[in-house]
C-alpha cells in the first residue's frame, strides 16, 4: 500500500507539495486539473506539467480525483457524444503519462455536497462534514453562496461559477 494525500494543485490548494512531501510516509498525491473545463479533453502539456510539478518534489501522481463529466453526458443532451469522446481522449492521455487510476465521479448536477467545509475537530484539525438536516434547511438558490463564503477563496470542483448560471 502506498500512502498518498489529496492535493488540489498549484493555485488551488493552500498546502504546497513541499509541505506534503514532509509528511512521513507520503509518497504521492491524488490530484486533478482544476482549471479544466468539463467536456473538454485535457491537453497533454497540462498533464505533463502537473506530473512534473509533483515529480520535482520527489513524489508521483497516484491517481486523478475525477475528470469532470459534462452535464450533457449526465442528462443525455445534444453534444453528449462529443463530450464522451473528449472524456475517452483524456483517459487515454492520462494512461500515456502512466497515470492509470481515475476516481469515477458521475454525480448528477453537483459533484458533491457538504454542510461544512471546515468543521473543527477536538485536536484543532478541520474536516469536511455532512449533516442532512442542515442540507435540508438550505434553499437551493442560496447553496452556492453559502459554500462560496466558506471556501476560503478557492474554487470548489463541481461548484464553478460558470456552472451556477445554468443551475436554475
pLDDT per residue over 52-82, tens digit each?
A: 999 999 999 999 988 888 888 888 888 999 9
pLDDT per residue over 84-118, tens digit each?
A: 999 999 999 999 999 999 987 776 666 667 788 88
CB 118, CB 156: distance < 8 Å? no
| Helix (H) or strand (E) segment spanning residue 119 | strand 116-120
* Better-scored residue on pLDDT, 44 or 127: 44
Residues 133 and 138: their CA atoms lie apart, in Å, by: 9
Residue 108 CB-half CA count within 13 A:
3
Strand 3-6 versus strand 26-31 pairing type: parallel
pLDDT > 80? residue 163: no
Q: Which residues sit opposite 4 in a β-bridge?
A: 28
pTM: 0.75
Amino acid at each position: 500500500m502506498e500512502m498518498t494525500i489529496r492535493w488540489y494543485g498549484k493555485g488551488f490548494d493552500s498546502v504546497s507539495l513541499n509541505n506534503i512531501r514532509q509528511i512521513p510516509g507520503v509518497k504521492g498525491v491524488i490530484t486533478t486539473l482544476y482549471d479544466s473545463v468539463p467536456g473538454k479533453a485535457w491537453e497533454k502539456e497540462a498533464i505533463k506539467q502537473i506530473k512534473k510539478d509533483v515529480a520535482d518534489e520527489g513524489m508521483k501522481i497516484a491517481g486523478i480525483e475525477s475528470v469532470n463529466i459534462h452535464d450533457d453526458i449526465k442528462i443525455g443532451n445534444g453534444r453528449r457524444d462529443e463530450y464522451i469522446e473528449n472524456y475517452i481522449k483524456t483517459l487515454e492521455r492520462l494512461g500515456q503519462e502512466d497515470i492509470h487510476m481515475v476516481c469515477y465521479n458521475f454525480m448528477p448536477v453537483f459533484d458533491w455536497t457538504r454542510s461544512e467545509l471546515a468543521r473543527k475537530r477536538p485536536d484543532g484539525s478541520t474536516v469536511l462534514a455532512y449533516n442532512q438536516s442542515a442540507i435540508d434547511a438550505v434553499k437551493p438558490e442560496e447553496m452556492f453562496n453559502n459554500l462560496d463564503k466558506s471556501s476560503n477563496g478557492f474554487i470548489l470542483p463541481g461548484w464553478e461559477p460558470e456552472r451556477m448560471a445554468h443551475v436554475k
